[in-house]
Amino acid sequence: MKLKEKLREFTQLKKGLLATNYYDLETLHGVLQAAADTKQPVILQLTQSSIEYMGLKTAVNLGRNGLEEFGVEGWIHLDHGGSVELVQRCLDAGFDSVMIDGSELPFDENVRVTREVVARAKRYDVHVEAELGYVAKLGQSHDSTGFTQPDEASAFVEQTGVDALAVAIGTAHGFYKQEPKLDIDLLRRIAEKTAATLVLHGSSGVPHDQVQQAIYHGVCKVNLATEIKNIFMASLKNELTHNDEIDLRKVFPKATCKITELVRTKLEMVANVPVFS
């Protein structure tokens, strides 16, 4: 099934589709084992830095082969594409979905760049995500001045033809200094204004009930990255501190299992959303 169709189906069912970043074989296998265990679909995401680290062809083949090996329904997505050139490389490499992130550009420039990506992706029948509003990145302020506004979201989707829109409703990339509080009322009003799939970036550290409320009121795609990196590295550091093993094939799997445990809870969270008022 095409990603666009799956997102439309899950939105109607008020279920979330988890989108997880992977950085190497270990993080990929940790995610896919969880998806196989729960029999849930998953979006595998690559950022520019991960593509540069692994190489584009290697990264894509790793994801494709992993999906097949684990018997998981999934798609490969470019996360936070920073340029049309990178998007084009990913389109040529066979990505199922691409994101162009013009969120820090003026509205009109964001529209222009996104519209160009949508036109290019259409020739490949590839799903396109964009971002509107201020979802704080690492080191940036977490204030609410840049939250996505419903009328702007409506105009942006209409002018660009984008399939999915990442919205700013109180999340941030990286860990939070205090518990975030998502603006669910704002999300509800955004959802009423646009038919585009709504995306929640920065779910790491957000309480599960808030993520589920967001799904119930319009979000479908839920991104997860920081917690994956953190639990892998914390587990690996702990393992290395307590033994002198030099065979990485014996050490890495223990940290990979921690990713599987984490992602399994996240997949269950997005698949089993209770009714909210």
**Tokens at 16, concatenated:** 């979330």
The CA-based angle 163-165-114, given to 5 degrees, is 70
- Which tokens go with 194? 């646009």
Tell me how far apart the alpha carbons of residues 114 and 129 are, in angstroms, rounded to a whole number: 9
Selection from 267, 218, 272, 188 nearest residue 17 by Cα: 267
Separation between Cα atoms, residue 208 and residue 205, nearest integer Å = 9
Residue type, 206: V
The CA distance from 235 to 230, in Å, is: 8
Helix (H) or strand (E) holding 198: strand 197-200
- Is 30:260 a contact under the CB 8 Å cutoff? yes
**What is the token pair recorded at 25?**
């074989």
Q: Is residue 79 among the annotated active site residues? A: yes
The phi, psi pair for 201, rounded to 5°, reads -90, 155
Helix axes 150-160, 107-122, angle to 10 degrees: 40
- The residue annotated as part of the active site, out of 79, 101, 163, 183, is 79
Q: Which residues are catalytic?
A: 79
